[in-house]
Structures are given as C-alpha cells and as structure tokens.
Amino acid sequence: MSKLLSEKQLQNILFKDSPDSIFIIDIEGIIVNCNKASIKELGYLKREITGSPVTRFLSEESIKTFQSKFSGFKKFEKQEGEVQVITKKGRILDIWRKGVPVKGENGEFIGAVIFDRNITKIKDAEKALLNNKNNLEKEVEKQTNKLIELNKELLSLIEDLQHEREKNLSILKALPDIIFIIDEKCVFKDYNVADAAQLFVKPEVFLGKRLDEVLPDDVGFDAMNRVRDALKTNKIQIFEYTLEVKGKKQWFEARIVPKNKNEVLVVTRNITESKNAKREIVSALEKAEKSDKLKSAFLANMSHEIRTPMNSIIGFSDLLSTVTSDEKRNEFVELIKKNGSNLLMIINDILDISKIEAGLVKITKTQFNINEELKYLYDSFSGHPKILSGLIKLKLRLGLSDKNAMINTDRTKFNQIMTNLINNAIKFTNEGFVEFGYSIHLKKGSPIVKFFVRDSGIGISRNDIDIIFDRFRQADINDTSALGGTGLGLAICKGFVDALKGTIGVDSEKGKGSFFYFTLPYSKSSDNESIEEETFLPKDVNWSNKTILIVEDNVSNYKLLEAYLSFTEAFVLRAANGKMAVKICKKIDNIDLVLMDIKMPEMDGIEATKQIRKINKSLPIIAQTAYASDSNRDECFEAGCNDYFIKPVSRNRFIAVLSKFLD
C-alpha cells in the first residue's frame, strides 16, 4: 500500500470519498473543514458548514453530550457516542460520532477530527425491531393470558364433564335397565348393565350378532321390526316380550330410542314383578267384586228366606183367632210350628256363619261316644217321610265297638255337622239309599276318624263341587232353589271342621250320588276301654212314679215340655221363676229332676241352680236355654247343672236326656 499511495494521497482519498461525514474542528469547536459526505448528509453548502461551531447541527440534547465530551479532547482523549444531527431540511439523523484529538507540532491541542456515521436506518430498524418485539411480547402476553383463561375454562369444563360422566356412570350403574346399542342391521354393538347376571346370554355370545341370532324367533323378529320402525320414523318404539330365564318365564319391556341415523338405544327392563303385582291386583279386585256380589245376593236370599216363614207365622197366627173348627186350628198350628222351626234353623245358620266369619267359633271339647251319637241320629232320621215311605233306605256303619268309640271333640258341633250332611243327603236323594258312619284311618302315623255321609242322589257337577263349601255360594247354584235351604250348611260344616282341626271334602258326580266326608283327630285313650254307656232309644218310658219340676217363665214353653212328658205319666210341677223354684225344692223333697230355664225374671236359672245345690247336691238339674253359645253352656255346668239342651228341643232328644237321670 505504501508503495501505491503516499500518506498524503491516502488521507485525501479517505477524507474526500469517505461514506462517513468528516469534520475538522479547531480548539474552539469551530468547523474548519468538512468532506463531501458531510455536505450531502447535512444538505448545507460547504461554506455554510465551515466556520460554524460543530454544535450548530446538533439537537439540543446532543449539544450537551458533545460539550461534555469536547473537554476530553483537550486531554487528548478519543471520544465516541451517539448524537442526533439536524439537517438543513430539519431531518433528525442518528449518528455514531467518533472524535479524535489532534496535537500540534509542540504537542499542544490544536483541534479534532470528527467522524460521523449515519446510523439512522439501523436505529430505525432497531426501533422497528424493538417496537415489533414489544408488540410481539404484548401479543404473546395477551395470547398467553387468553390461553390461561381458556385453559381455566377448559379445566372447569373438563371437571364438569368428569362430574357429568361420574353422575351418568352412577346413574347407569343404578339403572335397573339393560341398555343395548343396536345398529341398522340389527346387530348388537354395545351394552350397559349394572349386574351381568341380568343378561339373558353372555356378552361374548350376543355382541356382533343379529337380534334374531340371539333371541328366540318370535321375539327376535318382532324386535328387528321395531328397530327398523324406530330408525325409519325416528320415533320411540315400545314393546313387551317374554323370555325364559333360568327356567322361569320373565316379562320384559323394551324401549327402542333412535340414537342417530344408523343406531338405536334399546332400554330393556324386567317387568315380571310389576306384571305379577298387576295381575294380583286385578284378581283381588275381581275377587272383591265377586265377593261383594255374592254378599249382596246372599243378603237378598236371606231376606227372602226369613220373610217367607215369618209371613206364614204372622199370617196364620192372625187367622188362629178367627177359625172355629178344631181341624183348621190344628192345621194352622202345624203350619206355624213348621215355619217357626224353619225360621229358627235359618237364624241359627246365620248366627253360626257370622261367628265363623268373625273367627269367633269357640270349641268346647268333651269325651263322648260317637256310636251313641250316630245311633241317635239314625233313630231321629228314621222318622223322615222319605225313609218311612221306603223311598230311601237309611244305613249306619260304625267303625269301632261301642266300648272303643269315645272321642274328644265338640259334641254340639259334631252333631251339627253330621245332621247337616245327612239332611242334605236326604234332601238331594229321591230314591235309593243314604248311608252314614265312620272308619278309622292313619294320617302321618296318627289315627283319625273319617266320618262320611254317602247317598245315591242327584250328585254335584264338577263346577259346583269347587264352590259348595264357600260362604254365600248357594246364590250361584241354580237348581237348589226348588229344594229350599240357606246355602250356608256346608260353609258352616267347613268352618266347624276347620275349627276342630279336621278336613272336609266331597266326591261326587252329577247323577251318581255324593260322598261327603270329614276327619277329626282320634286318640285311643283309656276311656275308650272303660266307658260303657248305654245308648238310649226312647221306647217304653214310664215315669209314673217320678216328679219333675219345670222352671219356666214362658207359659207356651212350659206347655210344650208338659206335652212332651204327658205320655211318660210323670208328675209335673211348674215354677215361674228361679225364686219359686228354690222355694219348691226346699219344701218338697221327693222331686226327681228339675228342668231349669236360664233366662227368667226375678232370679235366673244360674242363681237358682246354685241355691238348690246348697240344699241338694244330688238332684239332677237340666238346663234349657235359647242361647246356643258355648260360654252359656259352661256357665250352666259351673253353677251345678248336670246336663244342658238348647231350646227348642225335639221330643225324642228331650226324653233321651231325661232318661239318663230318671231310669
């Protein structure tokens, strides 16, 4: 280089053609020279520049900076820094200024050379960059904040979703329903079930299969049609079907809900319990309605049954006073008697059935001889016109010797059951036979007595057999009306047999006769060997040497008993109340028997018996009452009575009871 250019030449070139502005200043800071670049940059003429202080072209701010630095030159320190230069046109330029102090020949300060490099573009770019950076940072911050907000929202949304999902899951788990997803080809796609045991078949068997491949044919086809309908109409389809699950028929309800164009949700529920409950309610309702109807029919029937004999009794009683001939009077009396006993029978039946209905049947067990009872019944029924006339042959079959025929049960109820069954047998048999009796059987190792009444009568149809023991049922059976009866007899028998812990039943065929039976527990006790009671048959009775006191406040009742006794030739006394009876017993000591009415004015039969017992312990006292209750009977025995009968009593029974004490 030194070969090519001289120092001077180089300085010239550098000064003249430098792209940077160069100023040469003196010790006062006055510009003494400047190059081309500076003239171009400042836009002033050279002569305008030279001779001016270098600070003239600086901004106010830069003047201060420069002046502070200018003092450094004097100490021969190079200075550099940023200043702002103002051009002639007033533009402000950012300049990087470097100042180099110049020494004189004697080493004194003679000025400085100033190099200015225009860095406005770089500065602007820097500024723009900074601005951009700031904007960018702001934007980033804004976006970050937005993101944070979004994130928060998202988190709470996720939380909500989680809750929702958990809620849905727990709902799904708690649902008794099984949910299937089925596609448009009727293929099982998915399912949800709380307990897998509810499934008809295992998931691996049905998933991916078509409905008709899994379900029984009829259900499968039906279900497929419903799925197609649901997809076609976009409407819920509901249908019920049955499946056999573990050998049991179960009812289901399916709701097919369109999910989208290609899938349906099938919500199925086991409705067997509600179906059964519904069926039970309907049948209970039907039963209640039927029973209500039966009760109404029964009441209508009863009212008719009671009115008929009542009308006759009232009618003929009225007529009695008007008739003059004995023949007519007797005829009317007979009719009144007949209707009276009919009425009594009906009232007794109603009382019995009410007790059974109310669960008030009271059982009083005593030891008695069934052979004796049945023989007595045989004798009583032998007087029935159908038997007397020979239309029906009456037979008795006893299963035990008289000695062993003791049984411990309620005697009154036993008699009532037998009487009812025999009465029915005779009533529903026009000709042939009626046989009754008993035999001994073993049931689960224990002996039982099976009583029966067999007849060759009209028999009972299959339909009626199931209902004849039901209460209020006679109203249903058409052909009985002609034969009369309350329709309560068998229901009463059943009520009593139940109370006696036995069973009652019938074998019968229409037109071929009937076989009614009932069982009672039988225990072979020591009594069955020791007791030998004589069976009474009221034949030749002669009590001409006996005195009988009838205690009875009602004249008609007294007259009836007196009439019953007339053929025995007994001597009969009467007391109209308990007080009189006690008085007579105290006065007359040859009384052989007392017939004691219970309900009387002044002193009742119970009190009178107690008083008589104080003076005579052995005198037989037989109570007679219109109340057929068991407590009544107990009260009589406790007061000291020896026996008891319910009014009205038949003559035979009356004589039979008295014979036990008089013969």
DSSP-assigned letter for residue 28: T
Backbone φ and ψ for 190, nearest 5 degrees, come out as -160, 175
Backbone φ and ψ for 419, nearest 5 degrees, come out as -60, -45
For ligand ADP, the binding residue among 455, 552, 553, 597 (CB under 6 A) is 455
- Rounded to 5°, the CA angle 98-101-102 comes to 135
**457 touches ligand ADP by CB under 6 A:** yes
Rounded least distance, CB 493 to ligand ADP, Å: 7
Order the strands of the 392-397 sheet from edge to edge: 392-397, 432-443, 446-455, 514-521, 504-508
Q: Report yes or no: 644 and 633 within 8 Å, Cβ to Cβ.
A: yes
Rounded least distance, CB 345 to ligand ADP, Å: 9
Among positions 498-537, residues that touch ligand ADP (CB under 6 A) are: 514
Nearer to ligand ADP, 55 or 514 (CB): 514
Among positions 302-331, residues that touch ligand ADP (CB under 6 A) are: none
Nearer to ligand ADP, 517 or 522 (CB): 517
Question: Residue 172 and residue 159: Cα distance in Å, rounded?
Answer: 19
For ligand ADP, the binding residue among 356, 460, 594, 641 (CB under 6 A) is 460
Question: Residue 459 and residue 465: Cα distance in Å, rounded?
Answer: 10
- Residue 149 three-state SS: helix
Beta strand 248-258 pairing with 237-245:
antiparallel
- Residue 261 three-state SS: coil
Using CA atoms of 564, 567, 568, 570 in order, give the dihedral in degrees to the nearest 10: 80
Rounded least distance, CB 514 to ligand ADP, Å: 4
The two tokens of residue 153 are 């929202």
Nearer to ligand ADP, 65 or 480 (CB): 480
Among positions 173-212, residues that touch ligand ADP (CB under 6 A) are: none
Nearer to ligand ADP, 143 or 430 (CB): 430
Rounded least distance, CB 349 to ligand ADP, Å: 8
Using CA atoms of 254, 255, 260, 261 in order, give the dihedral in degrees to the nearest 10: 70
Rounded least distance, CB 429 to ligand ADP, Å: 7
**DSSP letters spanning 290-312:** HHHHHHHHHHHHHHHHHHHHHHH
Rounded least distance, CB 346 to ligand ADP, Å: 9
Rounded least distance, CB 470 to ligand ADP, Å: 9
Give the number of residues in contact with ligand ADP, rule: CB under 6 A: 20
- Rounded to 5°, the CA angle 282-285-291 comes to 140
DSSP-assigned letter for residue 478: G
Residue nearest to ligand ADP (CB): 485
Q: Mark 415-454 with x for binding to ligand ADP (rule: CB under 6 A) and - for no binding.
A: ---------xx--x--------------------------
Rounded least distance, CB 198 to ligand ADP, Å: 51
Return the range that interacts with ligand ADP (CB under 6 A); candidates 158-166, 332-340, 405-413, 455-463. 455-463
Q: Mark 468-497 with x for binding to ligand ADP (rule: CB under 6 A) and - for no binding.
A: x-----x--x--x----xxxxxxx------
Nearer to ligand ADP, 84 or 486 (CB): 486
DSSP-assigned letter for residue 403: G
Rounded least distance, CB 380 to ligand ADP, Å: 18
Does an H or E element contain 453, and which?
strand 446-455
Q: Which residues make up the interface to ligand ADP (CB under 6 A)?
A: 424-425, 428, 455, 457-460, 468, 474, 477, 480, 485-491, 514
